[in-house]
Every structure is written in structure tokens, then in C-alpha cells.
Amino acid sequence: MTQGKTVVTFGEIMLRLSTPGFQRIQQANHFNVHFGGGEANVAVSLANYGVNTQFVTRLPDNDVGAYARKTLHFYGVGTQHVQIGGERLGIYFLETGAVARASKVIYDRAYSAISTIKPGMVPWKEVFKNASWFHWTGITPALSQSAADACLEAIQVANEMGVTVSCDLNFRKNLWKYGKKAGEVMPELVAGCDIILGNEEDAETVFDIKPEGYDVTKGHASADEFRSVCAQLMQKFSRAKKVIITLRGSVSASHNTWSGVLFNGNQLYETATYPITHIVDRVGGGDSFMGGLIYGLMQYPGDDQKALDFAVAASCLKHTIEGDFNQVTTDEVVKLMSGDASGRVSR
């Protein structure tokens, strides 16, 4: 199914250099090359589901920037409104953990092209002319004050034009380095959102909102513990119509449990919990959830339970795929939603 209206995402796409297998960075003599970034990952998920997408960013005028743009084209993501300029593409190094050793990310993204974007560079009224949805994450305003200002400009134009706005709070402590804390910048941006996604760390760190008695290290998460988090977020941000929390229980780096809850102001919906016992790659898991959620809310209007179930199943599958992008089809997600997790060969 192809949606008639476009979903626009805005943020940074980076070059990802990951160690082969489970090697440590200090062991590696070569790296696997992928592209990734929160908002780009969401756009790729939606394009896989047949949704028209446009990814807005700023890319340097060099071969690496061109490679990133061609990669987005390969996955069916529109780049009509990508701005060209800046010095470099951001890079991140990934060391995949296993069992008791956690994964590690090292960023090399200072002075990246997107961090130098400013209000007025993107013609947002043109961008949103055929759009029904705009998505951003807390990563973009963490990069620089000018990126935060550009993000706020986009949200305000989307609000004026009646475009649904969603955000993934996506707190990254290693990114907020330009003199502002997330709690100082994020409230004004989140106030313009209709849909808010977060996890157990985001709401507490950014807004000092936390569930009672929750401990991520106990290996599972209870949906009821997060009802108050959702309610507090909706109280703080009155525009929000739905608040969604992803629930990850960490048994080890290789074994997580995965589920989610959605609160629409009246009812709390929760999903089955998926045991993910042999994680291939968890980077991009939250983005794949967001892509599935946007698709679900568009495809199943009025059925929040089905939209949430689609999001959790889609992101469960992402944990089996190397790279940031969730390369699954709607049929594969629906099959898992129906309870078929056998992994039998499809012939």
C-alpha cells in the first residue's frame, strides 16, 4: 500500500563504521560500512512499507555526501529537499557487544553539515505542501543551537499547516555539548508534538518524569509501571494525543525482552512481550519501532492496539538485521503479529 500523503523526517544521516562480528574496535583491521541515523532510519522503514517519504538534512558537497544520498534513493526515500553545504558527514563507530559486554558507540560528528543548518535554509512550507506527517527526534536539537532552532522552525510551520507532528525523545548524553541541557531545549519543541515516543531513560532524564520502582536490569518491564509516565507527559504537553513508551528489558547484551505501551489519554494499550534471545543488531531498534508506529497509525486509524502491535513486531524483527535500517516488509511484520515466530524457511 502506498500512502497518498508524504511523511517528512528531519535529521542527520551518518556514516556507520562497525567492527566485523563481535570484534572490539581495538581488534579490527577493517570496518563494515553502513549509513544510519534516527530520522533516516524511520524514513527507510516507511519506504519499505510503501509510504511516500522525504528525508530533509544537510549533506556536504563531496563523494561521501553523494553516497549517502544515493543510499537513500536505493531504499526509496525521497531527497528532494536535502540541502547541500557544510564541511563533512558525521561518522560513528560501533562495537557490537555480546552477553555481559555492552555495545559501544563512539561519535565523530562534530562540525557535521547538519549541525550547521540554520532557520531559513529549508523552505518548510514547500516541504510540507503534500505532507500529512512530520517526524523529528531529540538527536537533532542536541547537535547545535542552530539545528535546534531549525527544528523548532519546522515544527511551528507543520503546526500551522495542520501536519501531524511526532517526536522520539531519543536522549543522547554524549551529544549535548554546546552549552544547553536537553531539559532547557526540548520542552518548547515537544510542545508542538501530537505523538510522543520515549523509553524509560528519556522521560526521566529530559523531564524528570519516571515510573515508580522500575529497574531496567531486572530483565523485564511492566506496562503498568509506565501509565503514570504517559499521563504525566500528556499533562505537561497538552497538544499530545498519544504517548508511547518502548519497554526494553536487558537480560544481557545478546538477550533482551521487547514490548511497548500506548496511552491515548483514556486507555493504556500494551503488547505481547517478545523475548529476543540472539540479537544481531539492536542499533536502530527504536527507530524501527517509530517507523512501524507511524505506519500503523496511518494504516489502522482508530485501532491503537493494532498500530502498537505492528510497531513492536516490526522492531522485534529489526533486531535480527545488521545495519541501522529495518529492511522488512509489511507481510513479514503481519506474520509475526499473528503469532508466527517459528523462523521456518519460506519456500
Q: Is residue 113 part of a domain?
A: yes
Percent of the chain predicted with pLDDT > 70: 93
Going by their DSSP bridges, the two strands 53-56 and 58-59 should be labelled as unpaired
Average pLDDT over residues 295-312: 96
Q: Are 260 and 308 in contact (CB under 8 A)?
A: yes
Using a 10 angstrom Cβ sphere, with 0-12 exposed, 13-18 middle and 19 or more buried, the burial of residue 346 is exposed
What pLDDT, on the 0 to 100 scale, is given for residue 238? 94
Q: What is the pLDDT of residues 119-130, one digit of tens each?
A: 999 999 999 999
Closest to 290 measured CA to CA, from 94, 43, 73 = 43
This prediction has a pTM of: 0.91
102 vs 61, residue with greater confidence:
61
CATH number, domain of 171, equals 3.40.1190.20
Q: Is residue 207 part of a domain?
A: yes
What lies within 8 Å, CB to CB, of 222 at 6+ separation is 214, 247
Q: Are 191 and 157 in contact (CB under 8 A)?
A: no
What pLDDT, on the 0 to 100 scale, is given for residue 223? 67
Q: Is residue 342 part of a domain?
A: no
Ranges 163-167, 205-209, 236-240: which has the least confidence: 205-209
Q: Is residue 344 part of a domain?
A: no
* 1 pLDDT tier (thresholds 50, 70, 90): very low
Which domain covers residue 65, as residue numbers? Answer: 6-337
Q: Distance between CA atoms of 133 and 115, rounded to whole angstroms?
A: 23
Q: Is residue 343 part of a domain?
A: no
Q: Is residue 346 part of a domain?
A: no
What pLDDT, on the 0 to 100 scale, is given for residue 346? 55
Counting the structural domains of the chain, the total is 1
